[in-house]
Amino acid sequence: MKIETFVPEYQSREVSLEEALRVYQTLGKTSASFTWNDCGDEVLTLSVGEDHSTVTLLKDRSFYDLEHAELPGEVLIEMDGSVVEYPRALVLPREKGLEILNILPDFDRVFESYTWKVQD
């Protein structure tokens, strides 16, 4: 699993899934990105901020976002060290990202257990 942090400076490192779980739990308010199976046919990318997370995956050559609720509009969140506008429906509670990491490497279970929105 690749972990990237962005503040105070960009850092990237490869760790085991077990280490990624420990890092996620100790991030505090730090923004980070976790990528499982980077450059593979099935990829999961999880971004985490102070009080939220977002999850995107690649499956069968299509990208999907984990949908939390059918909420209209956008909200400002911290993602990858920057503040960005992001669809409110795709902003998850912070602990949801940890829940997803705990299911990996069972990618099929992750895909089948949640509601995913195909990216346009």
Rounded Cα distance between 117 and 14, Å, is: 28
CB atoms within 10 A of CB 19: 13
Instruction: Please report which confidence band the pLDDT of residue 29 belongs to, taking 50, 70 and 90 as the band edges.
Output: confident
Residue 81 has a pLDDT of: 83
Q: Decide: residue 8, CB within 10 A, 0-12 exposed, 13-18 middle, 19+ buried.
A: exposed
Query: Average pLDDT in the 34-61 region?
Result: 95
Residue 120 has a pLDDT of: 79
Residue 9 has a pLDDT of: 86
| Mean pLDDT across the chain | 93
Rounded Cα distance between 5 and 9, Å, is: 7
Note the pLDDT tens digit of each residue in 54-89. Answer: 999 999 999 999 998 888 999 999 998 889 999 999
- Dmax (CA) for the chain in angstroms is 37
For residue 5, is pLDDT > 90?
yes
Domain ranges of the chain: 2-118
